[in-house]
Amino acid sequence: MHTHTEPRPVLELLRVENGADGCFGVLRKNGRILCLTLEPGWRENRVLISCIPEGTYAMTAHVSPRFGKCFALSGVPDRTEILIHPGNTAQDTQGCILPGLRLGILSGRRAVLMSRDALRALDAALKDCGQMTLRIVNLWEELEAAS
């Protein structure tokens, strides 16, 4: 159990690709990959259709009426109700982060697979963390420039 004097655990979401099928990344804690991620592509932080801006956000465990146990982010500029919840393609999210354990194709679109398993694994890995910090970093431009 974390007290107010202990630092919050910091997770990193490293976004590696931003394309037609969405924004793909990896979620890490202490350098260890916890899962893959998929969000809508970057569209200037527009509500319901864009991933959120890179930055640092508070993250807590959450129970959603629609998705059940998940995680919620707070402090996102001009956005509310940003969650990490199950889903497979960018069509399954309106700005939230979808976790997965594998990449694949569903209905002709690139997707994250085994999303509910990924969320259960996240819940197990983070169950005693309380309030956490999520740092989101866009690496896609750097990766595109390197190729």
DSSP 53-117: PSEEEEEEEEEETTTEEEEEEE--TT---EEE---SSGGG-SS-BEEESEEEEETTEEEEE-HHH
What is the tens place of the pLDDT at every residue in 79-127?
999 999 999 999 999 999 999 999 999 999 999 999 999 999 999 999 8
Mean pLDDT of 16-40: 97
Distance separating alpha carbons of residues 81 and 64, to the nearest angstrom: 10
Nearest to 100 by CA among 42, 19, 18, 13: 13
Task: Return the pLDDT at 24.
Answer: 98
What is the tens place of the pLDDT at every residue in 44-88?
999 999 999 999 999 999 999 999 999 999 999 999 999 999 999
Average pLDDT, the chain: 93
How does residue 4 score in pLDDT terms, banded at 50, 70 and 90? Answer: low
Task: Return the pLDDT at 5.
Answer: 53
Query: Out of 2.60.40, 3.40.50, 2.40.440, 1.20.1740, which CATH number does the structure's domain 10-146 have?
Result: 2.40.440
Domain residue ranges in the chain: 10-146
Q: Which residues lie closer than 8 Å to 121 by C-beta, 6 or more apart?
A: 34, 35, 101
